């Protein structure tokens, strides 16, 4: 019997049972944690936010770790306002009117040496609720699987109102929209359409749901002081994704033609990567933000090419530092425009090259779809995959031709001027004036340019 019991114990996966009691007046979470089937002696944070936690003894040797007290439950307090001082965004904590949005790894402690599942229960005062991308039991307890804890989730807590779960096509996939409940000028229907129209555009692109997750896509909307429809957004795209979208509380329209929801929600379908390389995730998303708006008709073909051409002319050419270097040091140099639009310019050049190589039967769209369902790639593997897709025999009109390593590696490492003008000219893209651009249908690649923004184009 003993041996049998021991075998069962060894087989059981460790679990952390977490009870969270928020005190929103103090902007604090009081947490009790009980463990099952775990014998470790230390609990650690995945983010460097130990200064936001009180009530536990810091580990003498290990940063962002705490000693396990002799007795359970462990009790500790997380200060949301201190988390926000680390960074005022949901990757740490953002205060959004009467609610908070914070990252789960700021309050869930990893059981050292174990892959533990979390059972998280919130004890909430009247009028306060939570929203998270996790499955929930009838009593409100959330389950955070080992895999989901590894990729991270946003948790919304405060005065929230659900805008419902909507099933979208193509792909028949659900999105659950939660609103931070505050006065706003837009109608609920406008906000729902802001999210769902963008997701439907992406579902058309990916031939189905942009996420490989199984649960409803978790979207939290919050109003901020602005008259713009879309203001800002942030996405955790891996596993079951989490999305935050900020809109202008004073906006009465403009949601149909806004770019923020199109951009942010496209991130959900970005290829899986090992490590971060913004030239791909931000750059390619920036390219498709314009292309997909033109395809869905929420921006005219002419206006989309005007934005693309102007931004390529301004930011595609390196300024002495390569795109690869600017991308790797984005957090220090904040060259956002150069990384976003330099990456978009690479996406554009690859798109043209792939279309030329395949005589119009393939495009970057196909490569993006294939990469999305493929293995996680590191930066080098991603560059090699893109170089393979583009091939080596691309048109001479491509700026600077193609470096021996390939189009993507050449573009990423180029430090000298990268002249995009010949390629724009071949596509019939001329001078920009205001929001419009001179497009010529007689140019050698004019047909290709039209195919790029065609609805449901290849
Ligand atoms: Zn982005």
Peptide bond into 399 cis (omega under 30): no
If one compares 414 and 110, the residue with the highest pLDDT of the two is 110
Span from the CA of 171 to the centroid of ligand 1 (angstroms)? 24
51 Cα: distance to centroid of ligand 1 (angstroms)? 29
- Secondary structure class of 29 (helix, strand, coil): strand
0.75 surpassed by pTM:
yes
Q: How large is the greatest C-alpha to C-alpha distance in the chain, in angstroms?
A: 85
- CA–CA distances in Å: residue 241 to residues 99, 118, 147, 192, 210: 20, 18, 12, 18, 10
Q: Using CA atoms, how far apart are residues 274 and 234, in angstroms rounded to an integer?
A: 19
CA of 198 to the centre of ligand 1 (A): 14
**Ligand 1 centroid from CA 117, angstroms:** 30
Q: Which is more confident, 419 or 23? A: 23
Report how far residue 363's alpha carbon sits from residue 387's, in angstroms, rounded to the nearest whole number.
13
User: For residue 199, how far is its CA from the centre of ligand 1 (angstroms)?
Assistant: 15
Strand partners, 156: 101, 131
Burial class (CB in 10 A: 0-12, 13-18, 19+), 316: buried
CA of 359 to the centre of ligand 1 (A): 31
The alpha carbon of 238 and the centre of ligand 1 are apart by a number of angstroms equal to 14
Q: What pLDDT is stored for residue 458 in this prediction?
A: 39
Residue 393: predicted pLDDT: 47
CA of 293 to the centre of ligand 1 (A): 15
- CA distances in angstroms from 12 to 37, 38, 117, 135, listed in the order given: 7, 9, 11, 21
- A 10 A CB-CB count for 217 gives 26
Contact yes or no for 281/222 (Cβ under 8 A):
no
Sign of the torsion angle spanned by Cα atoms 170, 176, 178, 183: positive
264 CA distance to ligand 1 middle (Å): 6
Q: Which residue has the tokens 């995009």?
A: 420
DSSP state of 242: E
In this prediction, residue 331 has a pLDDT band, given cuts at 50, 70 and 90, of: confident
Q: Output the CA 367–ligand 1 centroid distance in Å.
A: 19
Each domain of the chain, given as residue ranges in start order, spans 13-92+103-151, 159-269, 278-452
Nearest to 78 by CA among 41, 116, 122: 122
Q: CA angle 414-415-418, nearest 5°? A: 65
What is the spatial distance between Cα 358 and Cα 353, in angstroms, rounded to a whole number? 9
Question: Is residue 8 very low, low, confident or very high in pLDDT (cuts 50, 70, 90)?
Answer: low
Q: Would you put residue 300 in left (φ > 0), alpha (ψ -120 to 50) or beta?
A: beta
CATH classification number, 159-269, choose in 3.30.2010, 3.40.109, 1.10.1220, 3.30.1370: 3.30.2010
Q: How far is the CA of 232 from the centre of ligand 1 (A)?
A: 9
Share of the chain above pLDDT 70, in %: 94
Q: Find all residues with CB under 8 Å of 396, minimum gap 6, and list them.
A: none
Q: Does domain 13-92+103-151 have CATH number 2.60.40.3650?
A: yes
Ligand 1 center to residue 122 CA distance, Å?
31
Closest CA to 101 of 259, 214, 246: 246
Task: Take residue 449 and report the two structure tokens written for it.
Answer: 């340019």
Q: How far apart are CA 196 and CA 190, in angstroms?
A: 10
The pLDDT score that the predictor gives to residue 408 is: 84
Q: What string of DSSP letters covers 153-198?
A: -EEEEESEEEEEEEEETTTTEEEEEEEE----SS-HHHHHHHHHHH
Q: How far is the CA of 267 from the centre of ligand 1 (A)?
A: 7
> Quick one: how many helices (H) and strands (E) in the chain?
15, 20
Q: Are the CB atoms for 224 and 247 separated by under 8 Å?
A: yes
Stretch among 20-29, 331-340, 373-382 having the lowest mean pLDDT: 331-340
From ligand 1's centre to the CA of 82, what distance in Å?
A: 26
pLDDT of residue 457: 42
CA of 168 to the centre of ligand 1 (A): 23
How far, in Å, is the centroid of ligand 1 from the Cα of 278? 9
Please give the full DSSP string across 272-303, using - where no structure is assigned: PBSS--HHHHHHHHHHHHHHHHHHHTSS-HHH
Cα 124 to middle of ligand 1, angstroms = 33
pLDDT number for residue 398: 47
CA 221 – CA 156 distance, rounded (Å): 10
Summarised one tens digit per residue, pLDDT across range 196-215 is: 999 999 999 999 999 999 99
Calculate what percentage of the chain has a pLDDT beyond 90. Answer: 86
Distance 227 CA to ligand 1 centre (A): 21
CB 387 within 8 A of CB 409: yes
**Mean of the pLDDT values across residues 259-287?**
97
48-70 residue pLDDT tens: 999 999 999 999 999 999 999 99
How far apart are the CA of 281 and the centre of ligand 1, in A? Answer: 7
């Amino acid at each position: 019997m003993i041996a049998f019991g021991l075998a069962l114990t060894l087989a059981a996966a460790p679990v952390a049972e977490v009870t969270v009691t928020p005190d929103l007046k103090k902007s604090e979470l009081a947490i009790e944690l009980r463990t099952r089937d775990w014998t470790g002696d230390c609990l650690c944070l995945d983010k460097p936010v130990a200064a936001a936690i009180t009530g536990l003894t810091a580990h003498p040797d290990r940063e962002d770790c705490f000693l396990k007290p002799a007795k359970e439950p462990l009790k500790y307090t997380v200060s949301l306002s201190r988390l926000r001082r680390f960074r005022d965004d949901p990757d740490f904590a953002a205060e959004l009117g009467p609610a908070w949005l914070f990252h789960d790894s700021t309050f869930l402690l990893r059981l050292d040496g174990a892959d533990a599942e979390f059972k998280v229960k919130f004890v909430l005062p009247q009028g306060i609720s939570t929203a998270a991308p996790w499955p929930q039991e009838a009593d409100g307890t959330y389950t955070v699987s080992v895999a989901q804890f590894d990729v991270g989730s946003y948790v919304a807590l405060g005065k929230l109102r659900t805008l419902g779960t909507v099933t979208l096509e193509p792909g028949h996939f659900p999105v659950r929209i939660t609103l931070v409940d505050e006065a706003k000028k837009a109608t609920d229907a406008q906000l729902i359409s802001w999210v769902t129209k963008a997701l439907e555009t992406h579902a058309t692109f990916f031939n189905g749901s942009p996420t490989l997750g199984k649960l409803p896509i978790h979207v939290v909307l919050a109003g901020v002081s602005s008259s713009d429809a879309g203001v800002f957004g942030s996405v955790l795209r891996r596993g079951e994704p989490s999305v935050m979208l900020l809109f202008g509380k004073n906006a009465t329209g403009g949601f149909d033609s806004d770019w923020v929801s199109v951009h942010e929600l496209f991130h959900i379908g970005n290829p899986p990567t090992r490590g971060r390389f913004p030239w791909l995730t931000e750059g390619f998303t920036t390219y498709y933000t314009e292309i997909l708006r033109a395809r869905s008709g929420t921006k005219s073909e002419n206006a989309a090419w005007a934005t693309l051409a102007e931004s390529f002319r301004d930011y595609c050419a390196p300024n002495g530092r390569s795109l690869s270097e600017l991308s790797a040091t984005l957090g220090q140099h904040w060259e956002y425009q150069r990384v976003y639009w330099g990456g978009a310019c690479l996406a554009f050049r690859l798109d043209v090259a792939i279309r030329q190589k395949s005589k119009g039967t393939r495009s970057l769209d196909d490569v993006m779809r294939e990469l999305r369902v493929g293995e996680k790639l590191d930066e080098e593997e991603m560059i090699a995959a893109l170089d393979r897709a583009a091939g080596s025999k691309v048109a001479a009109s491509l700026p600077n031709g193609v470096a021996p390593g390939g189009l993507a590696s050449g573009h990423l490492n180029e430090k000298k001027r990268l002249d995009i003008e010949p390629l724009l000219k071949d596509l019939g893209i001329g001078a920009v004036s205001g929001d419009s651009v001179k497009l010529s249908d007689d140019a050698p690649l004019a047909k290709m340019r039209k195919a790029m923004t065609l609805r449901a184009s290849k």
